[in-house]
Structure 1
Amino acid sequence: MILALGLVGALQTGLIGGFAGYYLSESLYDEIGQRALMVAKTVATVPDVIEGVQDRDSDALMALSGRLAATNEALFIVIGDQNGMRLAHPDPARIGRSMAEDDDDKGLIALVEGRGYVAVAKGSLGLSMRGKAPIIVPGTGEIIGIVSVGYSLDQVLGTIQRYNLVLYTVVGLMLLASVFAAIIISARFKRAIFGLEPEQIATLFQERDATLQSVREGIIAINRDGIITTFNRTATETLGLSPDTALSGQHISEILPENNLLATLASGEPAFDQEVWLRGRQMIVNRLPVRQSGEITGVVASFRLRDELDQVSRKLTRIQQYADTLRSQTHEYSNKLHTIAGLIQIGAHDRALALIGSEASDHQALIHLLLEAVPDPVLAGCLLGKYNRAREMGLRLEIDPDSQMTDLPDTLPRDQLVSVLGNLIDNALEATRQEKGEGGRVSLSMTDLGRDLIFEVEDQGPGVPPEQSELIFQRGVSSKAGGDHGIGLYLVKRFVDRWGGSVTIESLQGGGSRFTLYLAKQASQTPEAP
């Protein structure tokens, strides 16, 4: 950059200096020529000159031309008659000789055409710029002689050299100033790009682009004006845009009207792992402001479809449900087997057979109910696990035999549904055991008739005071002791609000509460700002 700016400065100052020098020389030559012509015309109108030419008084003309030459700083003033014969000359030896001998045009145009002109010629006094004018008698218009005024070109060249010295000094200073400015600009520019050379910047840009395209999350960056500056291919795919869509240069509101990047740009507060809706899709979004010298210059957002995380979460949920179910059944059946073994050992074979039949009958009835009323395997598995969990706790989970949940919409996330329903049942079991101990009962009824899915969970717990019916859904609020509570109902409320449903609490006569969950079959899926 220093070399480039220096060369540009040198070229500019060189061209300007050369043009100025040439223009100055031409101007001085023209000015000297016009000055010589003007002096010649002035001398030609002096009455003493006209009279001296008429009288051919060389002595008087010699003295007069010398004074006029000194007055006008001319090299010489030569006066001749109508034939071009010298009547006055700085060299007396040339008096009476023709002026044509040292005139390049040989025609003495001033005598022939009666007009003045400027010429460069080399005479007895050297190379000079000459102005020549005819001597005309006033009134008659008769041409009786000629005046030649000359200025030495050495004088002109000396003047030009003085001017050029000043000019080239200024040009040199301008060149030095250009180089100095190039050094300062280069230093500031290099600091701005962290001391990197252009080749390094190009390499980093290629690496950054390759990195962006290899990331499986969508990435979009905006500047301080909200204009998109960076994005990757995954961003267009995740947002459901055409692969040919050019996002760069567009305002973020044109691509994502429901975005909250501008709020992050204004507040400077980062956000991580937020569940939001973008273009009708549920996503996990991170937002991070970009700062330079303490000033926010933009925001970078990364996002991924919630479905991708849900796949992993769903698998883990199912594994946990299976583990809970197996653990509960293992514990329960271990106790049952010990009891049956004890009955056989004491000879109570009939009681042992009755216990085995009762156990098989209860499970068969539950399995038959779930197969008929809840064909969805995820929801059915959740209910079976909670049934076994209740028995392990010494409680009963009773499912209304008239329940029906066969019209679950495909868009309803199963993992979130079982998480919400599981939280309600777990809370009911805990509240019932707290109030009733073993032998308590929790009831569940379900229906998909109409436009909503309705789940009712009744417990025999201490109930929820009316003043806490809204507070209980806030994060961290719980009736249980300890700090690791107050999350379940918060997650329930959050999911219900996002899905466009509702959840209500009723106090039952005789104690206990009824939680009723309403979920629309056609969710509003109200978008949340990222």
Structure 2
Amino acid sequence: MFTIRLRTKITILVIAIVTISIYSTTLLTTKRLVDNFSNEMNINLMNIAKVIASSPNVVEGMKTGTYRKNPIQAYVMKILNETENVEIIVVADMNGYRYAHPNPERLGERFVGGDEQRVIEYGDSYISEATGTLGKAIRAFVPVYDQETGEQLGFVMTGALSHTIGVIKRQRVLNSILVSFIGLFIGIIGAILLANNIKKILLGLEPEEISKLYVEKQSILDTIHEGIIAIDENENITLINSSASKLLGLDEDKIIGKRVTDVLLSTRLPDILKTGEGEYDREQVLNGTVIITNRVPIKDGDKILGAIATFRDKTMVTRLAEEVTGVKQIVDALRANTHEFMNKLHVILGLIEMGELHEAKNYIISVSENQQQIVSLLMKRIKEPAIVGLLLGKFSKAKEHGVTLIISEDSTLEKRYDNINNNSLVTIIGNLIENAIESVSVSSSREKKVYIKIKEEHSRIIIAVKDTGPGIKEEFIPLIFKREFTTKGTHRGVGLSLVRQSVENLGGIIEVSSIINLETTFKIMLPKGGVVR
């Protein structure tokens, strides 16, 4: 589909408006000019005729009764030569015989045209149009009176040829049109400059692109978990997204346009406007919430237009970091190990207090052997201390929940494994075992067991975790790795999401199989070189 660009639209629209405005004005102005010229011509002809009719030279000349050697002709010719836009001056007596005429040969002849009757019969002064000896003309008639007796002696006719008047009118119309063309040309140049300026202000974007960017911006702001606040050069809030509103307990609609220091007392955004330098990963307290924030100026060249801050709740950042790096898994495992150790110490202490020293000794030997077997197996097969510590902790936690944790004797894991980092393994193994223990602990199965196998091969690492829990319904299997999907209540559904993320980042594969009320198996294959073989 053909679309007209914004610059073209603006140019065409402005040119159309300028054209319509100029030519509407030109039409009205031209008509006014023509009408005014006609009125001016009529007034001019009438005024000159009156001046001549009242001249003593004309009155005295008319009294002589003859045109011969009459001073009227010389007087009239002088006026005719000195007057602009008047081509005809005729002086005639009451019988219509000429005493003055532009053509001296016409003197003594009768007046021609037939429009002189009113001035002769009634003594009227008027304007008419008729054809005389010189051609068609606009003519003004004024009677000549003897000032002493009041007797009408004749009349004066001043005129301008219709052809000449038409030429003058056309010239004025052409001048008006020429001016309008000049105005149109200036308007076109102005339209182009305006269109280019608007295009520059809009960064060369079309309206459809601006609309799309606005919708995308709103969608991005709504999906970003970080809070975002922006201010202009006057420290007024211009933008705040929903995450910032929720985190700081603010109403987005009510704070837009307000001064940022009136809303957030401890904000440092105004300082960014002054220094023009960004601040990164700073800890700050805003409205009672501890946040980690980045603040940067918004610049156009060297000019600072505003500032923007992005931030997250420090508690959430810390929690996410622990989840991603696997620290939380190790800490939980060590906590469980410590808890189990304290329980065993309490048993030993109780036996000693009861005087059952032999039982206490046997218990210590039993626990020691048990623990030694587990530690020995793990240390022998698993070379990475962090993974060993994690598994030991999970053994303790499993016991707390009445679950038996079994690690395959053919498990192997070296300390170096190419592109696979230690944190990813802790995240994957820790979350899979945690999920399995929790699933088995709430099941009604008599055998509450979790089986673990970690096998390092030449090109990949295989991690398998199987439990005897209630299983996963088939329709839920495609959903279990989605963040916050859970059937266990709110604030859950993070562990398997982190597992999937870690596996995908390493180019691995996850396989899930489940039999309801019998077992569930998660199998992870991680390539050492980036591709599973």
Match of residue 235 from structure 1: 244
Q: Which amino acid aligns with 1:259?
A: T
Q: Deviation at 1:150? A: 0.3
3-state secondary structure, aligned to 2:203 = coil
Residues 56 and 87 of structure 1 are in contact (CA less than 8 Å); yes or no, is this contact kept in structure 2? no
3-state secondary structure, aligned to 1:101 = coil
Match of residue 257 from structure 1: 265
CA distance in 2, matches of 1:250, 1:117: 77
3-state secondary structure, aligned to 1:290 = strand
- Are 2:83 and 1:72 aligned? yes
Q: Deviation at 1:327? A: 5.3
CA distance in 2, matches of 1:52, 1:111: 21
* Structure 1 pair 314–158 and aligned structure 2 pair: CA distance change class (3 A): same
Match of residue 464 from structure 2: none
Match of residue 157 from structure 2: 148
CA distance in 2, matches of 1:214, 1:111: 100
Runs (5+) with no aligned partner, structure 1: 336-348, 361-384, 386-530
Residues 9 and 175 of structure 1 are in contact (CA less than 8 Å); yes or no, is this contact kept in structure 2? yes
CA distance in 1, matches of 2:254, 2:360: 75
Match of residue 280 from structure 1: 288
CA distance in 1, matches of 2:194, 2:81: 56
- Are 2:114 and 1:101 aligned? yes
CA distance in 2, matches of 1:322, 1:205: 45
Q: Deviation at 1:161? A: 3.4
After superposing the two structures, state which structure 1 stretch, 162-171 or 147-156, moved more. Answer: 162-171
* One of 5, 10, 19 as aligned partner of 2:19: 10
Q: Structure 2 matches for 1:17-32, cutoff 5 A? A: 17-32=26-41
CA distance in 1, matches of 2:122, 2:256: 80
Match of residue 158 from structure 1: 167
Match of residue 122 from structure 2: 112
Residues 213 and 233 of structure 1 are in contact (CA less than 8 Å); yes or no, is this contact kept in structure 2? yes
Match of residue 443 from structure 1: none
Q: Deviation at 1:217? A: 3.0
- Are 2:140 and 1:131 aligned? yes
State the TM-score, normalizing by the size of structure 2: 0.54
Residues 67 and 107 of structure 2 are in contact (CA less than 8 Å); yes or no, is this contact kept in structure 1? no
Match of residue 81 from structure 1: 93
CA distance in 2, matches of 1:236, 1:201: 25
Residues 102 and 124 of structure 1 are in contact (CA less than 8 Å); yes or no, is this contact kept in structure 2? no
Match of residue 175 from structure 1: 184
Residues 283 and 303 of structure 1 are in contact (CA less than 8 Å); yes or no, is this contact kept in structure 2? yes
CA distance in 2, matches of 1:257, 1:117: 88
CA distance in 1, matches of 2:139, 2:245: 83
CA distance in 1, matches of 2:223, 2:314: 19
Residues 112 and 133 of structure 2 are in contact (CA less than 8 Å); yes or no, is this contact kept in structure 1? no
Q: Structure 2 matches for 1:305-344, cutoff 5 A? A: 305-309=313-317, 312=320, 319-326=329-336
* Structure 1 pair 258–111 and aligned structure 2 pair: CA distance change class (3 A): farther
3-state secondary structure, aligned to 2:234 = coil
CA distance in 2, matches of 1:295, 1:27: 57
3-state secondary structure, aligned to 1:194 = coil
CA distance in 1, matches of 2:278, 2:213: 26
Q: Deviation at 1:149? A: 0.3
CA distance in 2, matches of 1:130, 1:257: 89
* Structure 1 pair 333–208 and aligned structure 2 pair: CA distance change class (3 A): closer
Q: Deviation at 1:66? A: 4.6
Q: Count residues with an aligned counterpart.
A: 344
Residues 123 and 142 of structure 2 are in contact (CA less than 8 Å); yes or no, is this contact kept in structure 1? no
* One of 299, 319, 322 as aligned partner of 1:291: 299
- Are 2:283 and 1:270 aligned? no
CA distance in 2, matches of 1:201, 1:297: 20
* Structure 1 pair 355–13 and aligned structure 2 pair: CA distance change class (3 A): same
CA distance in 2, matches of 1:100, 1:326: 131
Runs (5+) with no aligned partner, structure 2: 1-9, 346-355, 368-392, 394-533
State the TM-score, normalizing by the size of structure 1: 0.54
- Are 2:62 and 1:53 aligned? yes
Residues 111 and 134 of structure 1 are in contact (CA less than 8 Å); yes or no, is this contact kept in structure 2? no
Match of residue 507 from structure 1: none
Q: Deviation at 1:264? A: 0.7
* Structure 1 pair 304–153 and aligned structure 2 pair: CA distance change class (3 A): farther
Residues 98 and 107 of structure 2 are in contact (CA less than 8 Å); yes or no, is this contact kept in structure 1? yes
Q: CA RMSD in A?
A: 4.1
